[in-house]
Structures are given as structure tokens and as C-alpha cells.
């Protein structure tokens, strides 16, 4: 099969790159004002097609800007395993997006074909699944992406319609496993696993709190996830939820004062929630439904302000880790004599490694709970879901969540195969773990899947949302940022917990931390701007604020701060 280079250049010329803009592909893919993205999504379509041919498997592309305003849009690429685009291909994405015109783009494509040894022949075939969220600009941009895919010889674009980002990730993964991969299959898969876990719930699981409730109020961010939640609920008999902020008239705009990002950052209830919802279990998803946080609020008297309680990704991770640990404990010998991180299954699988992966932004109280209360191994990675996902895949069961609510549980395939061979044991925990592996979206963080997991764990434990929140109290924290002349002036360790250069800065941070009870602080340069982000924790809010200010001053002094000096 010959590549029609003349036709390719003609197709690319219809999508000229806007001048004066440098594009950078990151964890969020490409994201910008929608009016500036046509060339980028066309080229992303080309790259997704090349990746498909290179891997000889289907890939995916979704048009979304997640929790950004409705005027923005973006594009994310999905690898054959259902995960994010391989980091090794991100430079290819940047080179294509920044090619000055169709001729420069052609040369970049030729170079990628050569470097990745992509062959074209009569049997060459590829497939790219396409989807978009509900943004007004989505349809036009999806058409541009489709044309980019079709411009590559031997690759076909397949429009899957309006989907959440995690749904498309799930479908790409399922298709490459030769499994049914429609939206109906997605709902059926999750709901059946949820029903299985319901049936396996011990009789002793009874709710014991006055705040316990089977129902849940969900903020849908006026995005695509709200629509999908309503479709999922039709398959669930014993889980009731009310979805607000569905994008209906009068509910407001996409991500405008609503959504998981707003709730997590502002620590406030979203639009269309008020004090009449006090004591109720609430959750919020983001615009493309890959983030999830829970919350509730209490008002002791009419005149007092509500007390807002946020259960973020750290709390979700801790809840899931407790459930996984409990199931494993019933499958091991000499539980009391061995830490859970080196448990041995009865039939001799060997040591089952269970780990929780966090970033330095995880609250210190959550890390202490995981290590000291649950006895689990905790690993730290650089900020960014792609780093957490990669590290979690090293465990037999790896759990990861960022504080913003993006995360999931990964099961090593060898471990699942072992559990399947022992299903005749009749041990409920084996069936529960297998059901969790089916219900949780292992391709990527998925708010819909996450809600089902949270709710089933609370049912098993007999907990209300307040019981869950009480497992530990977050340490007060503060985040600041300092503008610098060059963010490369600071280099950190891989976990971003220590400054490698300049060494004087880390010494100054250590000195400041030593002044405060429970103090912890780190700094990290931004990946996209000339700013340095500061994080600080301490036992009180005032001391956390003071520690952050002190560290910010040292960053300004030692790392080339510009503009107003931190006071």
C-alpha cells in the first residue's frame, strides 16, 4: 500500500498551524482555546494512526479539555493497552504539532516512520477509535482528527460518539483483547461486577452510623459524565443516586463553579448544592469524568457556617487499600506474623506485593495511615498520572490516586490468572478480588467506575461517609508559587521531595521545616511555566502558612525570583 504524500500535504494544508503558539503534549494531552486547535487535532489524528500501525493494534483519540472552561478544548491519545500515550512518543507529538506548515509536517512524519520502523504494504491496517465530550467545539474538532487519521495510508477512523474519556480508554483496551467494546458493553461490564460484589457481601455488613445512607448526590459538572451516570443507573437496582448539574437549562455551564476540580481546590460545595443538603453523602466528577471526589457538610446551628468535609484522592486511595488488604488477609497463612506487603497466598503464589503510589502532594496523614495502620508499602513518583500508573503496574495489586481524584487500581495479569485457577476453593475473597478487577477501570482513572467501588466498599464496611472521613485527619497544608527567570534553575529528585540543585536551597528548606512541629515542605518547578510551586504541611494552618512563606522567600532568593518578593 503506497502512501499518497501529495494527498497528505493537501489534507494538512487545510489545517494551518496558528502562528506564535508552541504546543506541548503532557499528561493532559494538548489543551488550549478551541479556536486554535484544528491543526493540532488533525496532526494528533495522524500520530494516532502511526501509533496504530507501529503497534499493529487499535489506538484511540478523544476530544476533551477535562475540567477546563467550555471555551477550551483539547485532545488526548490512547495507547493500545488503554493507557495514555507512551511517554516515548510524546516528543513525536510535539514535533508534529509544532511543524510550521504541511511541508515541515511531511518531513516530521517521514522521520517518525523511519525511527519507528513503520512498514506499509498490502496487509497494513490500523484503527483509531474517536470520541468527544459535550463541548460545542467538539464536533468540528473531531472531524479534523478523523481527517488526520484517514490521511495515513491503511488506517481507518471509527467514530464512537459522545463518551467520557475513561470510556474510550476502556473500549480501546477491550477491543485489543478481542472483547466486545461498545458503550453498552462498558455499562454491562461494570454493573455485573457490582452486582457480583453485592451478592458476595457478608451478612455482618450492617450500617451503624446515623449518617449512613444508601443514596448519593452526584455533581455531574454539567458535562458528559452526568449523562453517562444516568444511563449506568438504569442497570443498578440497589444503588440510588441523584445527579445534579447535568447541563440542563438553568444549571449553569460546563465546569463553571461545579465539578471535582472546583470542589477539590475551593473546598466548597458546587452550584445547586446548599445547606439543605447537610449530612448527605455527595460526590463530584469533572468535565470528562476521569476525576472523583466525595464531600459532605455539617451545620450545627442555623446561624453557623457549614463545615465542609472533602474526601479527596488520598481518602479514596486509603479506602480502596483497606478493602484490598482485608480481602488478602483471608487468603494468607500466619497473617499476624507477616506484614501485608509480603503475604503468601495459601496455594503458594508467593509473596503478593501490594503497593500504594502517591506523589509528594499526598497529605502526610494519608501516608502515615497507609504505612502504620494498614502496613502497606507506599511509593512516591513525580507529579503526573502517567508516572503513578507506571509505578503501580510494578505491583501485583497497585493502587494510585492523585489528591485531585484521578486514579485507579491495577492488577497484575499473572496474579489474576492465579486467582482464576483457584476459584474452586470457594473462598469469597477470591471472587471479590476478581470482581473488583472487572469493575474498576484499569486503563485509566474513571469516576463512574470509582463511584461504584467507593459505594461497594462502604457497604462492606458498614460505614457512612463520616466514618470513612474519620480514618485520619488531614494535616493543614498551604501551596504557593514563585515566579522565576528560569524554572530550570531548580532540579529535584525523581520523587520531587528534595532539591538537588542549588544545594543551598534544600539546606534552607530543611532548616525551616525543623522549626515547625510536623513540618514538611518541598518545591518543584512547573513543567510549563517559569514558576516554582511550594507545598508545606504542619500541625496547624497558621504554621503551615508560615512555613510555606518562609520556603517561598528562599526560592525567590536562591532560584532567581522575579517580580514582587514573597512577604
Sign of CA dihedral 539, 540, 541, 545: negative
Q: Which CATH class is domain 215-311?
A: alpha beta
Looking at residue 338, its pLDDT comes to 44
Grid cell in block for residue 14: 487545510
Can you tell me the mean pLDDT for 258-269? 92
Report how far residue 495's alpha carbon sits from residue 361's, in angstroms, rounded to the nearest whole number: 10
**What pLDDT was estimated at residue 173?**
97
How far is it, in rounded angstroms, from Cα 91 to Cα 25? 8
Residues of the chain with CATH 3.40.120.10: 5-179, 215-311
Fold of 477-558: TATA-Binding Protein (3.30.310)
Instruction: Find the mean pLDDT for residues 92-120.
Output: 96
In b/e form, how buried is each residue of 253-277, taking b as 16+ CB within 10 angstroms? Answer: bbbbbbbbbbbbeeeebbbbbeeeb
Contact yes or no for 473/518 (Cβ under 8 A)? no
What per-residue confidence (pLDDT) applies to 423?
63
- Residue 334 in this model has a pLDDT that exceeds 60: no
Task: Indicate whether this model's pTM tops 0.85.
Answer: yes
Per-residue model confidence as pLDDT tens digits over 133-167: 999 999 999 999 999 999 999 999 999 999 999 99
Distance CA 442, CA 71 (A): 30
Are 237 and 192 in contact, with CB atoms under 8 Å apart?
no
Residue span(s) of the chain under CATH 3.30.310.50 come to 477-558
Question: What's the rounded Cα separation, in Å, for the pair 224 and 182?
Answer: 17
CA distance linking residue 274 with residue 217, whole number of Å: 12
**For residue 342, what pLDDT band results from cuts at 50, 70 and 90?**
very low
> Which range, of 225-234, 250-259, 370-379, averages the lowest pLDDT?
250-259
Contact 77, 85 (CB under 8 A): yes
pLDDT given for residue 123 in this prediction:
66
Which whole number is the average pLDDT over 535-562? 93
Label residue 528 exposed, middle or buried (CB < 10 Å: 0-12, 13-18, 19+). exposed
Going by pLDDT thresholds of 50, 70 and 90, the confidence category of residue 208 is very low
Burial class of 538 by CB neighbour count within 10 A (0 to 12, 13 to 18, 19+): buried
pLDDT average, residue stretch 209-231: 83
Q: Is the pLDDT of residue 210 over 80?
A: no
Q: Is the pLDDT of residue 562 over 90?
A: no
CATH class of 314-443: alpha beta
pLDDT band at 301 (very low <50, low <70, confident <90, very high): low
Q: Which of 211-225, 266-280, 447-461 has the lowest mean pLDDT?
A: 211-225
Residue-level pLDDT at 349: 64
Query: Catalytic residues, which ones?
Result: 66
β-strand 292-298 against 307-311: which pairing, if any? antiparallel
| pLDDT over 70, % of the chain | 92
The answer on pLDDT for 376 being more than 50 is yes
Contact 356, 400 (CB under 8 A): yes
Question: Are the C-beta atoms of residues 151 and 46 closer than 8 Å to each other?
Answer: yes
Main-chain phi, psi angles of 31, to 5 degrees: -150, 130
Q: How far apart are CA 131 and CA 169, in angstroms?
A: 10
* pLDDT tens sequence across 19-34: 999 999 988 899 999 9
At residue 196, the pLDDT reads: 96
Residue 337: pLDDT over 70: no
Whether pLDDT at 344 is above 50: no
- DSSP H helices, 234-356, are 260-266, 313-329
Tell me: pLDDT of 343 over 90: no
pLDDT for the residue 564: 78
Strand partners, 216: 241
pLDDT tens digits along 273-296: 988 888 899 999 999 999 999 999
Overall average pLDDT of the 506-534 stretch = 92
pLDDT-derived band at 336 (thresholds 50, 70, 90) equals very low
Q: What is the pLDDT of residue 345?
A: 46
Range in 27-31, 221-225, 322-326, 444-448 the model is least confident about: 27-31
Query: Domain 5-179 adopts which CATH fold?
Result: Alpha-D-Glucose-1,6-Bisphosphate; Chain A, domain 3 (3.40.120)
Alpha helices, DSSP H only, in 423-496?
A: 428-439, 447-461, 465-469
Sequence-distant (6+) residues with CB within 8 A of 412 are 393, 395, 396, 397
Q: What is the mean pLDDT of residues 437-453?
A: 97
Q: Give the lowest-confidence range in 19-33, 336-350, 528-542.
A: 336-350
Which grid cell sits at 186? 462498558
- Is residue 122 pLDDT above 70, yes or no? no
- In the predicted structure, residue 424 carries a pLDDT above the cut 70: no
pLDDT given at position 166: 98
Return mean pLDDT, the chain.
90
| 239, pLDDT greater than 80 | yes
Amino acid at each position: 500500500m503506497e502512501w499518497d504524500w501529495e494527498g497528505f500535504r493537501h489534507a494538512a494544508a487545510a489545517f494551518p498551524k496558528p502562528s506564535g503558539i508552541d504546543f506541548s503534549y503532557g499528561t493532559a494531552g494538548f489543551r488550549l482555546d478551541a479556536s486554535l486547535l484544528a491543526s493540532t487535532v488533525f496532526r494528533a489524528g495522524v500520530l494516532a494512526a502511526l501509533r496504530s500501525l507501529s503497534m499493529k493494534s487499535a489506538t484511540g483519540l478523544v476530544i476533551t479539555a477535562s475540567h477546563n472552561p467550555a471555551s477550551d478544548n483539547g485532545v488526548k491519545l490512547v495507547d493500545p493497552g488503554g493507557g495514555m500515550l507512551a511517554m516515548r512518543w510524546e516528543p513525536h507529538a510535539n514535533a508534529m504539532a509544532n511543524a510550521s506548515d504541511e511541508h515541515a509536517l511531511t518531513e516530521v512524519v517521514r522521520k517518525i516512520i523511519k525511527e519507528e520502523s513503520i512498514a506499509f504494504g498490502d496487509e497494513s491496517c490500523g484503527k483509531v477509535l474517536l470520541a468527544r465530550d459535550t463541548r460545542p467545539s467538539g464536533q468540528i474538532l473531531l472531524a479534523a482528527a478523523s481527517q488526520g487519521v484517514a490521511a495515513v495510508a491503511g488506517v481507518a477512523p471509527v467514530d464512537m460518539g459522545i463518551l467520557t474519556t475513561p470510556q474510550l480508554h476502556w473500549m480501546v483496551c477491550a477491543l485489543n483483547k478481542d472483547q466486545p467494546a461498545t458503550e453498552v458493553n462498558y455499562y454491562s461490564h461494570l454493573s455485573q461486577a457490582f452486582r457480583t460484589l453485592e451478592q458476595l457481601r457478608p451478612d455482618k455488613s450492617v450500617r451503624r452510623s446515623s449518617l449512613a445512607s444508601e443514596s448519593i448526590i452526584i455533581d455531574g459538572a454539567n458535562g458528559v459524565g452526568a449523562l453517562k451516570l444516568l444511563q449506568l443507573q438504569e442497570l443498578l437496582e440497589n444503588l440510588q443516586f441523584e445527579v445534579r448539574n447535568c447541563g440542563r437549562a438553568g444549571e449553569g455551564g460546563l465546569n463553571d463553579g461545579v465539578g471535582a476540580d472546583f470542589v477539590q481546590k475551593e473546598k466548597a460545595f458546587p452550584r445547586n448544592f446548599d445547606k439543605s443538603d447537610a449530612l448527605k453523602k455527595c460526590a463530584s466528577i469533572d468535565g470528562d469524568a476521569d476525576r472523583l471526589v466525595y464531600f459532605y457538610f455539617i451545620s450545627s446551628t442555623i446561624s453557623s457556617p457549614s463545615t465542609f468535609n472533602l474526601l479527596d484522592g488520598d481518602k479514596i486511595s486509603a479506602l480502596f487499600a483497606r478493602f484490598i488488604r482485608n480481602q488478602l488477609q483471608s487468603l494468607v497463612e500466619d497473617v499476624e506474623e507477616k506484614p501485608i506487603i509480603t503475604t503468601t497466598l495459601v496455594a503458594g503464589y508467593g509473596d503478593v506485593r501490594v503497593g500504594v503510589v502517591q506523589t509528594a502532594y499526598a497529605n502526610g496523614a494519608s501516608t502515615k495511615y497507609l504505612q502504620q495502620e494498614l502496613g502497606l508499602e507506599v511509593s512516591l513518583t513525580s507529579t503526573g498520572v502517567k508516572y503513578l500508573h507506571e509505578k503501580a503496574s510494578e505491583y501485583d495489586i497497585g493502587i494510585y490516586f492523585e489528591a485531585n481524584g484521578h486514579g485507579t487500581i491495577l492488577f497484575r495479569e499473572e496474579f489474576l490468572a492465579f486467582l482464576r485457577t483457584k476459584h474452586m476453593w470457594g473462598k469469597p475473597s477470591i471472587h471479590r478480588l476478581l470482581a473488583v478487577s472487572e469493575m474498576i477501570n484499569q486503563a485509566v482513572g474513571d469516576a463512574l467506575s470509582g463511584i461504584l467501588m467507593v459505594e461497594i466498599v462502604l457497604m462492606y464496611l458498614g460505614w457512612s461517609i463520616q466514618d470513612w472521613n474519620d480514618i485520619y485527619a488531614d494535616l493543614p497544608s498551604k501551596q504557593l508559587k514563585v515566579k522565576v527567570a528560569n524554572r530550570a534553575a531548580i532540579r529535584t529528585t525523581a520523587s520531587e521531595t528534595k532539591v538537588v540543585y542549588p544545594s543551598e536551597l534544600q539546606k534552607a528548606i530543611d532548616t525551616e521545616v525543623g522549626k515547625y512541629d510536623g513540618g514538611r515542605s518541598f518545591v518543584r518547578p512547573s513543567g510549563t511555566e517559569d514558576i516554582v510551586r511550594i507545598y508545606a504541611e504542619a500541625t496547624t494552618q497558621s504554621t503551615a502558612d508560615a512555613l510555606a512563606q518562609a520556603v517561598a522567600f528562599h526560592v525567590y532568593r536562591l532560584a532567581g525570583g522575579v517580580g514582587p518578593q514573597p512577604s
